């Protein structure tokens, strides 16, 4: 079966660290993005060598961060040229760049488009200034709205992110905000409930009682309302937090959740390369300076580890059960040479944790809350 193949490029720098964020992002006074693009090109070459001669065409590329919109158009173009040296690009390849909506970054949108980017995912986060201030964002609401409008005029495909279930947010507040967001008519929205992550400044503030999150009942109602408002405007939840018009799903994100192979380069990036001997996990050095020094000295920072088919089967199920489409049972079993217990599946369906649609099995919203337990029961 021919599958998609994607390339993830991690750009680790941000202008400021947001208090909720535990991504591998670092604030640095300066960086030389031409040198960084060269180093990324070197790590790409190393992945191509790991993959061997049978390299599948690239169906998607994702510049994620950190804040990739701190890169110049030139640096983005240099990375895309490096990819084209080692892989054939599928003619309809999706090339996404995560952009922050600060006005300075908007000035680069035309350059990204000229370099080949055809999709942007903008970190809007909220549509009003007090909420943006609480989230520690450097942009205001008007700036963010202008970014969405500008991006919609430049790029064929646009998505943006919002964080909801914020302290004090009511159902009525969220309904107004989400309807305004839907009014921009983008084909895709990523809508995340605010989570408190370890090691973030929000973790400390939350522990000290500086703010409270909506209690579970309200959070569940906000989640249900999100789905309802999106569906009313033609966007369905193809994944827990990702909503798209049919056909406008992020192909790159789908690739992770369908457990298709991908290369991951740049600080802290993960990859899953498919070789004749099975899946190979790759992991890049996390700290930017150490990553750069290792790539300069050795050509790559990637550590690798073979993944046995039982572990791969487990990982695949964990990812796929986030998707509304779930898995095709026969495809899944033949890919990994496993057989899932029909008795357990029937039990999960009876208990309302899973459901089926023809040959496909998927987790219900209730089941998604218990994914780890369910998967252990199914795959061991
Ligand atoms: C890699 S991050 C951000 C991309 C870009 N740097 C930005 O901030 O606009 C991807 C998204 O994850 C979401 N996110 C990050 N931490 C979160 C948290 N603790 N709770 C909810 N959403 C979070 C945000 O919506 C963010 O835009
Ligand atoms: S949310 Fe985005 S801008 Fe903020 S620290 Fe994380 S990666 Fe950087």
* pLDDT tens for each residue of 34-47: 999 999 999 999 99
SS3 353: coil
SS3 221: helix
Check: CB of residue 104 under 8 Å from CB of residue 73. no
70 exposed, middle or buried (CB, 10 Å; 0-12, 13-18, 19+)? buried
For the CA atoms of the chain, what is the radius of gyration?
21
Q: Which CATH number among 2.60.40.10, 3.30.70.3150, 1.10.3470.10, 1.10.10.920 corresponds to the domain 309-380?
A: 1.10.10.920
Tokens describing residue 327: 């898995």
- CB of 15 within 6 A of ligand 2: the answer is no
CA dist., res. 226 & res. 174, Å (int): 8
* Mean pLDDT, all residues of the chain: 95
- CB of 125 within 6 A of ligand 1: the answer is yes
Check: CB of residue 190 under 8 Å from CB of residue 235. no
CA atoms within 13 A on the CB side of 312: 25
Q: What is the β-pairing status of strands 242-244 and 188-193?
A: antiparallel
Which of 366 and 143 is assigned the larger pLDDT? 143
Identify the CATH number of the domain defined by range 6-255: 3.80.30.20
CA atoms within 13 A on the CB side of 45: 14
Check: CB of residue 58 under 8 Å from CB of residue 87. yes
Find, among 378, 262, 318, the residue nearest to 5 by Cα.
262
Pocket test for ligand 1, best of 9, 10, 21 (most atoms within 8 A of CB): 21
361: β partners: 327, 356
Q: What is the pLDDT of residues 249-291, one digit of tens each?
A: 999 999 999 999 999 999 999 999 998 888 999 999 999 999 9
- Report CA(86)–ligand 2 centroid distance (Å): 30
Residue boundaries of the structural domains of the chain: 6-255, 309-380
pTM recorded for the entire structure: 0.96
Residues 6+ apart with CB under 8 A from 194: 20, 163, 164, 165, 166, 213
Q: What is the pLDDT of residues 305-360, one digit of tens each?
A: 999 988 999 999 999 999 999 999 999 999 999 999 899 999 999 999 999 999 99
């Amino acid at each position: 079966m021919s599958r998609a193949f994607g390339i993830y490029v991690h750009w680790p720098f941000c202008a400021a660290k947001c208090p909720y964020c535990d991504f591998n992002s670092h604030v640095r006074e300066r960086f030389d993005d031409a040198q960084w693009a060269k180093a990324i090109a070197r790590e790409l070459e190393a992945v191509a060598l790991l993959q061997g001669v049978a390299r599948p065409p690239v169906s998607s590329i994702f510049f994620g961060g950190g804040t990739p919109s701190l890169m110049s158009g030139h640096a983005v173009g240099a990375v895309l040229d490096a990819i084209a040296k080692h892989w054939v690009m599928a003619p309809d390849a999706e090339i996404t760049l995560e952009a922050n909506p600060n006005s300075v970054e908007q000035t680069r949108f035309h350059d990204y488009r000229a370099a080949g980017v055809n999709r942007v995912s903008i970190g809007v986060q909220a549509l009003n200034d007090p909420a943006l201030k609480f989230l520690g964002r450097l942009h205001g609401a008007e700036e963010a709205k202008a970014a969405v409008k500008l991006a919609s005029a430049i790029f064929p495909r646009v998505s943006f992110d919002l964080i909801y279930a914020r302290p004090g947010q009511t159902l009525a507040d969220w309904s107004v905000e989400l309807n305004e967001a839907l009014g921009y008519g983008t084909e895709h929205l990523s809508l995340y409930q605010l989570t408190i992550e370890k090691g973030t400044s929000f973790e400390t503030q939350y522990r000290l009682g500086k703010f409270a999150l909506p209690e579970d009942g309200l959070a569940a109602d906000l989640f249900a309302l999100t789905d309802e408002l999106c569906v009313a405007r033609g966007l369905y939840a193809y994944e827990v937090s990702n909503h798209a018009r049919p056909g406008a799903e992020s192909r790159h994100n789908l690739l992770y959740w369908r457990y298709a192979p991908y290369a991951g380069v740049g600080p802290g990036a993960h990859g899953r390369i498919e070789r004749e001997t099975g899946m190979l996990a790759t992991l890049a050095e996390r700290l930017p300076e150490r990553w750069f020094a290792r790539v300069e000295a050795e050509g790559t920072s990637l550590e690798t580890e073979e993944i046995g088919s039982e572990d791969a089967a487990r990982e695949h199920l964990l990812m796929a059960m986030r998707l509304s489409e779930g898995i095709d049972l026969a495809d899944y079993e033949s890919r990994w040479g496993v057989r899932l217990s029909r008795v357990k599946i029937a039990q999960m369906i009876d208990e309302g944790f899973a459901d089926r649609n023809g040959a496909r099995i998927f987790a219900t919203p209730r089941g998604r809350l218990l994914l780890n337990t369910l998967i252990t029961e199914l795959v061991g």
